[in-house]
């Protein structure tokens, strides 16, 4: 069987330290006779059309990248991809973190030409492969990784292990063993047990470390890491939700939210924002963004400060390092930064 597939995995996801960098870029495509397009360089160098040049020149059919990369290219506007014929694309993929609906729609409308399905996948290096993913026949919802892949029993539960109600936030767990799952961490079996299995040891469930909700249609919405929760005046707010609210504003390309100590609230939200190309930061815009978050999520989620930046600290797989932002804001040691992209 001959596969007419030219696949481009991009956006920093090619680092060999992550499973995407070896199994999904090298081993699996070669086993299946696919052609992989690999290049080294930033997606916006020398210009923000670098990827679209490659898609046009080599007839790329599948593009698989991270939401961070998608948002990063959104900020330069629609004109860069529209300069090229990228109609060879037939399938788009997203991985690495939850994708906000605004970025999903831009990816679908501008890059996919409203014809390419988006395979928004949830999995981990430790799981060895997709755990939540659409099938070709699955109706898509912007921002949801849809439903468990074949054979995976996935639930969202409370601290006692009870299923939460529809659209209620809880902990994402995998209830059954699956092919490809990690069995230990090299040289540190206790850490493996404590990190993934201790929380629901009685039930024998794997704890992913992510919070999520399941809607009335059974679609799973991954909110973010459990650690990435900000508690403001007793209310628990996910950083991903705050960042998604910011990015839903027409002027914002990327954002990151952190919690810093506050005398009255316990914690206050501090947000970092990258504006779309050509826009200028000012105090008036900062206040507008605060008001926008209040309207989208309620007054409790209104950021204390908005800081405009040109870049955010990210790993080479495109994940924002919020702990680095928090350490910088407090003048503390940033810790291990060896996985930060240059």
Cβ-proximal residues to 342 (8 Å cutoff; 6+ apart), any chain: none
Between residues 120 and 240, the one the model is more confident about: 120
Let me know: does 104 contact 74? Beta carbons within 8 Å.
no
Cβ-proximal residues to 226 (8 Å cutoff; 6+ apart), any chain: 171, 209, 210, 211
Q: CA nearest 239: which of 293, 288, 292, 196?
A: 293
CATH number assigned to the domain with residue range 6-120, chosen from the 4 options 1.20.950.20, 3.40.50.980, 3.60.10.10, 2.30.42.10 = 3.40.50.980
What is the rounded average pLDDT of the residues 79-100? Answer: 91
Q: Answer yes or no: CATH 3.30.300.30 is held by domain 227-330.
A: yes
**Paired tokens of 341:** 């992209």
What is the rounded average pLDDT of the residues 71-78? Answer: 88
Percent of the chain scored above 90 by pLDDT?
50
Residue 30 has pLDDT above 50, yes or no: yes
- pLDDT (tens digit, 9 = 90+) per residue, 139-186? 999 999 999 999 999 999 999 999 999 999 899 999 999 988 999 988
What is the rounded average pLDDT of the residues 76-102? Answer: 91
pLDDT for residue 11: 43
Residue position matching structure tokens 């815009």: 285
pLDDT for residue 128: 87
Residue 212 has pLDDT above 90, yes or no: yes
Q: Which CATH architecture is the domain 154-223 placed in?
A: Roll (2.30)
Cβ-proximal residues to 300 (8 Å cutoff; 6+ apart), any chain: 232, 233, 235, 237
The H or E element containing residue 21 is: none
pLDDT for residue 283: 94
pLDDT for residue 322: 86
- Rg of the chain in Å (alpha carbons): 20
| Helix spans in 60-147 (H) | 67-74, 79-82, 101-106
Distance CA(131)–CA(153), nearest Å, equals 9
User: Between β-strands 206-214 and 170-174, what pairing exists: parallel, antiparallel or unpaired?
Assistant: antiparallel
pLDDT for residue 164: 96
Residue position matching structure tokens 């659209």: 167
Residue 72 has pLDDT above 70, yes or no: yes
Cβ-proximal residues to 211 (8 Å cutoff; 6+ apart), any chain: 169, 170, 171, 172, 222, 223, 224, 225, 226, 229, 238
Let me know: does 80 contact 44? Beta carbons within 8 Å.
no
Let me know: does 154 contact 175? Beta carbons within 8 Å.
yes
Query: Domain locations in the chain?
Result: 6-120, 154-223, 227-330
φ and ψ of 151, to 5 deg:
85, -10
- pLDDT (tens digit, 9 = 90+) per residue, 183-202? 998 888 898 898 899 999 99
pLDDT for residue 13: 45
To the nearest whole number, what is the mean pLDDT of the chain?
Answer: 87
Please report which confidence band the pLDDT of residue 12 belongs to, taking 50, 70 and 90 as the band edges. very low
- pLDDT (tens digit, 9 = 90+) per residue, 282-335? 999 999 999 999 999 999 899 999 999 998 988 766 678 888 898 888 888 877
Q: Provide the CB-side half-sphere exposure for 237 (13 A, CA).
A: 30
Residue 2 has pLDDT above 50, yes or no: no
């Amino acid at each position: 069987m001959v596969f007419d597939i030219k696949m481009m995995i991009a956006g920093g996801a090619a680092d060999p330290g992550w499973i995407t960098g070896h199994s999904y870029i090298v081993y699996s495509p070669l086993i299946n006779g696919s052609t992989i397009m690999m290049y080294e360089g930033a997606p916006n160098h020398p210009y923000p059309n670098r990827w679209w040049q490659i898609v046009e020149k080599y007839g790329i059919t599948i593009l698989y990248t991270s939401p961070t990369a998608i948002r990063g290219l959104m900020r330069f506007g629609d004109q860069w991809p529209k300069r090229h014929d990228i109609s060879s694309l037939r399938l788009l993929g997203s991985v690495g973190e939850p994708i906000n609906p605004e970025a999903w729609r831009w990816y679908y409308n501008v890059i996919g030409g409203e014809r390419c399905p988006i395979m928004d996948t949830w999995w981990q290096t430790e799981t060895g492969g997709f755990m939540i993913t659409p099938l070709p026949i699955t109706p898509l919802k912007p921002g949801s990784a849809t439903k468990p892949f074949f054979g995976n029993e996935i639930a969202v539960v409370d601290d006692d292990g009870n299923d939460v109600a529809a659209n209620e936030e809880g902990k994402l767990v995998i209830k059954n063993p699956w092919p490809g799952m990690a069995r230990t961490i090299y040289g540190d079996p206790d850490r493996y047990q404590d990190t993934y299995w201790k929380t629901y040891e009685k039930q024998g469930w794997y704890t992913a470390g992510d919070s999520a909700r399941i809607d009335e249609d059974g679609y799973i919405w991954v909110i973010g890491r459990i650690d990435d929760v900000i508690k403001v005046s007793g209310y628990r707010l996910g950083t991903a939700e705050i960042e998604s609210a910011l990015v839903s504003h027409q002027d914002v390309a990327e954002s990151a939210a952190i919690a810093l100590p506050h005398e009255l609230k316990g914690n206050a939200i501090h947000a970092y924002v990258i504006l779309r190309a050509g826009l200028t930061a000012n105090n008036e815009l900062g206040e507008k963004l605060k008001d926008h978050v209040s309207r989208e999520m309620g007054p409790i989620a209104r950021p204390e400060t908005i800081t405009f930046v040109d870049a955010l600290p990210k790993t080479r797989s495109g994940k924002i390092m919020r702990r680095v932002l928090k350490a910088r804001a407090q003048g503390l040691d940033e810790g291990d930064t060896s996985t930060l992209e240059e």
